[in-house]
Amino acid sequence: MGLTAGIVGLPNVGKSTLFNAITKQNILAANYPFATIDPNVGVVTVPDKRLDFLANLYQPASLVPTSIEFTDIAGLVKGASTGEGLGNKFLSHIREVDAIVEVVRCFDDKNIIHVENCVDPIRDIEIIEVELILADLEIIENRISKIGKKAALSQDKEVKKEAELLTRLKKALEANQTIRSLSLEDEELKMIKAFNLLTLKPIIYMANVSEEDLLSGSNSYVSKVQEYASKKNAKVIVVCAKVESELSDLSEEEKKSFLQELGVSESGLDQLIKATYSLLGLETFFTAGSDEVRAWTFKTGMKAPQCAGIIHTDFERGFIKAEIMSYEDLNQYGSEKAVKEAGKMRLEGKDYLMRDGDICYFRFNV
C-alpha cells in the first residue's frame, strides 16, 4: 500500500533537517525561507523488531520491511492560501499525502531567523491551520457554486445530500473549525473524498527542541503545544533535529549507545514513523519462508481476501483459505512445526478479520 505523510511547517523550523535525518538524504537545508522549493520524497522503513526474529528463524534470501513515504514540503507562510510564498503550489503537494506531520519550532536561537521574528509555537500552528482552512473553504465554495442551483431545483436526492453536506462544511470552516474535528458519517466521507480536503487529513505535531531541552525534558513551548494538541485529539512528538541528524550518520550499535547516553530509549524519528503508521490506522502482517520474509501494510478492519489482494490481485480473486499463525505463538514455540503441534496454526476463511502480527500463507485458485 502506497502511504505518504507530508512534513509541513513555517520556514526555518527544522523540517528539512528532520527530513534529512529520516531518509538520510542530503537535501538543501539553508537558513532562509524557501530553501526547499520542490517537494522532496523519501521512503523509510517502519521499525519492527518482529522482522529481526523472523529473519533469524527463516534465514531468508530476501528481507523486506514495510515502509512509509515522507514528503518534505517547502515552508508555508501567512497568506499561502492566496499564493504568498509560492503557497498554492505547496498546498497542492499537501493534498497528495495521507497524513500531515507539522514541525513546530520550540527552541530559541538568535542565529536562525524566524519568519514571524519571534518564537511562538501556538501562533505558528494557527497560521498554518488558517491557511489550510482557507484553502479548503475555496474548494468547498467552488463546488457549492457548481451544484447549488441544481440542488435547489433537482429532485436528485444525492445532489441534495451533497449540497447540504457542503453547506455544513462551509459553515464549520468559516467558524475556524477543521473538517477532521467534525463527526462525519462514512457516507459523507465518501462524498468528499475526491476533494482531498487538507483539514480532514490526520495530523501529528512534532515539537523541535534544543539538545539541552531534550536532555532536561523541560520546555515551556512544548507544554503549550501539548495542551493545544490535546484539545484537538492530536499527538505530539518531541524531537531535536540536531540530535536526529547526528544519529542518522551512526551505525545501529553506535545509535543505541548514543541514545543510552542521552537517557532515551527510542529516537524521535522512530517514534514519528511508528506514530504515523498508527495515525493512519495501519497494521502489519507477514509472509515468511526461506525465499523471503516480508512485512505487509494493511488497514485495520481488512479481511483476509483483501490482505491477500495486497500481495497480488489474483490472490484475492481466487482466495480459498488463509493458513495463519500469530507472531506471538511463533515467538513462544520457536518453530512452525511446534506451533502446529500446539494446535495454534489456523485455517481462516473469507470473513476473517486480519490482526497485527499475523503470519500468513494464502491458498488460492484462479
- Dump pLDDT digits (tens) for 201-257: 999 999 999 988 888 888 899 999 999 999 988 999 999 988 888 888 888 888 888
Residue 262 · residue 334 · CB < 8 Å: no
Task: Outline where the chain has alpha helix (H).
Answer: 15-23, 49-58, 87-95, 121-153, 157-174, 186-192, 211-216, 220-231, 241-247, 252-262, 268-279, 304-311, 313-317, 327-333, 336-341
| DSSP bridge partners of 323 | 347, 361
Comparing CA positions, the residue from 9, 20, 5, 30 lying closest to residue 121 is 9
Whether 147 has a pLDDT exceeding 90, the answer reads: no
pLDDT, tens digit (0-9, with 9 covering 90-100), for 24-39: 654 444 443 333 445 5
Does this model's pTM top 0.85? My answer is: no
117-121, 148-152, 297-301: segment of lowest average pLDDT: 148-152
Which residues, other chains included, contact 271 with Cβ-Cβ below 8 Å and sequence gap of 6+? 237, 239
Q: Tell me the average pLDDT of the chain.
A: 86
Kindly state the cell numbers that stand for 249.
Answer: 550518520
